[in-house]
């Protein structure tokens, strides 16, 4: 059994985790964008 099959079986058994994982990925992508947008360089 591969890791992919194990993850699929886990998500089939716990469908609410799909939403939780999606939310986590969404928040992480927003944090990365916000961190990149707040960088300012002073000087040359």
The Cβ of residue 43 has, within 10 Å, a number of other Cβ atoms equal to 3
Quick one: pLDDT at residue 5?
Answer: 92
Quick one: pLDDT at residue 3?
Answer: 85
**Global confidence as pTM:** 0.61
> Which structure tokens are listed for 16?
């609410």
Burial tier of 12 (Cβ tally within 10 Å: 0-12, 13-18, 19+): exposed
Q: How far is CA 27 from CA 1, 20, 34, in A?
A: 31, 11, 10
pLDDT in tens, 26-38: 998 888 777 777 6
pLDDT in tens, 1-44: 688 899 999 999 999 999 999 999 999 888 877 777 766 677 66
Orientation of helix 3-13 relative to helix 16-37, angle to 10°:
110
Quick one: pLDDT at residue 38?
Answer: 67
């Amino acid at each position: 059994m591969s890791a992919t099959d194990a993850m699929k079986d886990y998500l089939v058994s716990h469908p609410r985790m799909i939403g939780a994982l999606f939310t986590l990925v969404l928040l992480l992508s927003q944090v990365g964008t916000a961190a990149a947008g707040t960088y300012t360089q002073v000087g040359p």
